[in-house]
Amino acid sequence: MSVHRCGTIALIGRPNVGKSTLLNALVGQKLSITSRKPQTTRHRIRGVLTLPDAQYVFVDTPGFQTRHRSALNRLMNRGVKGALEDIDVAVLVTEAGRFGAEDRAVLGLVPLAVRVFLVANKIDRIEREALLPWLRKTASEARFAEIVPVSAQKRKGLDGLLRALARYLPEQAPLYGEDDLTDRDERFFASELVREKLFRLLGEELPYGASVAIDKFEEVSDPRGPLRRIHASIVVDKDGHKAMVIGAKGEKLKAIGTAARIDMEKLFGGKVYLEIWVKVRRGWADSASALKNLGYD
């Protein structure tokens, strides 16, 4: 009789090391948004991969922030710590060739009883001659259960990572149904996809203080198939940021909306009617009530 394993695996690390890209690559579905902007991920997201002999429940976490101390960053750091409370394995994701104080700070959050994997991501960006000495040196940073080099973007090393993880998961029945991919709903993903396009299309122009709220989300019957009507608000900190998001003659906001709608239709499997407004809420990232209204918990 074959053994079935199932467990929870937290993906942790400093900002911008590729945790979200790794989650998406492992589960084979875009669940966590990505951009070059640090701290793109602001929420814990569970992604479920079910195979015949194992079910992996991955928890993508925000990058642990050691520099900026806004209420938003404190809340996200609490989310990282909370994700480590009931897990079977912690995967410390680093950028191959780089390991420093920020990585050590994240490593220090892991409870002593939890096995830790070191996953060196972005190996496609470092020469093999430099990678091997770096791996040997970094191995001395902690008693890692396994050290696995991968490239999440190129999908290299992922099968080996899954095989290694399975050895450390408890023998138990699946926690989720065979077709379950995540614990988040469509409303959440609608918000995240708008925020992703906001960051991707504005890049470094847009300051950190921007978020997205879903004001209305409804499914309506339509002869042509399922239709979702979604009204979203992009929330910024200053009037100048609002003008930046809207762009000349509204072109930037239109591009954000079009890109987000296309991705929503792919993810939801149906037509989407999307309207987006831009609102100014000064100091929202330092306001507990504003953060709660925007869905941060």
**pLDDT classification of 67: cutoffs 50, 70, 90:** low
| pLDDT above 70 coverage of the chain, percent | 81
Asked whether 26 and 156 are in contact (CB, 8 A), the reply is: no
186-202 helix and 239-246 helix, angle to the nearest 10 degrees: 90
Alpha helices in 4-53 (DSSP H): 19-27
What pLDDT sits at residue 196? 87
What pLDDT sits at residue 201? 87
**Three-state secondary structure along 130-183?**
HHHHHHHHHHHHCCCCEEEECECCCCECHHHHHHHHHCCCCECCCCCCCCCCEC
What pLDDT sits at residue 14? 86
**pLDDT classification of 184: cutoffs 50, 70, 90:** confident
**pLDDT classification of 36: cutoffs 50, 70, 90:** low
**pLDDT classification of 77: cutoffs 50, 70, 90:** low
What pLDDT sits at residue 251? 95
What pLDDT sits at residue 285? 67
Nearby residues of 155 by Cβ (< 8 Å), 6 or more positions away: 25
What pLDDT sits at residue 199? 85
pLDDT at 22 over 90: yes
Stated as kind and residue range, the H or E segment containing 11 is strand 5-12
Count of Cβ atoms closer than 10 Å to residue 39 Cβ = 18
pLDDT at 72 over 80: no
Nearby residues of 223 by Cβ (< 8 Å), 6 or more positions away: none
What pLDDT sits at residue 222? 75
Parallel/antiparallel/unpaired status of strands 115-121 and 146-149: parallel
Q: Is 131 exposed, middle or buried (0-12, 13-18, 19+ CB in 10 A)?
A: middle
Which residues on adjacent β-strands are paired with residue 7? 56
Collapsing DSSP states into helix, strand and coil, what is residue 280? strand
Half-sphere exposure of 43 (CA within 13 A, CB side): 22
Which residues on adjacent β-strands are paired with residue 51? 54
What pLDDT sits at residue 30? 80
- Say how far apart CA 179 and CA 173 lie, in whole Å: 15
Nearby residues of 151 by Cβ (< 8 Å), 6 or more positions away: 121, 122, 123, 124, 157
pLDDT at 79 over 80: no
- Say how far apart CA 150 and CA 277 lie, in whole Å: 40
What pLDDT sits at residue 82? 62
Q: Which domains does the chain have, with CATH numbers?
A: 5-166 (3.40.50.300), 186-293 (3.30.300.20)
The more confident residue out of 161 and 211 is 161
pLDDT at 96 over 90: yes
Task: Fill in the DSSP letter of residue 125.
Answer: G
What pLDDT sits at residue 163? 96
What is the token pair recorded at 256? 């954000």
What pLDDT sits at residue 210? 81
What is the token pair recorded at 2? 């074959």
Nearby residues of 297 by Cβ (< 8 Å), 6 or more positions away: none
Mean pLDDT rounded to a whole number for the chain: 85
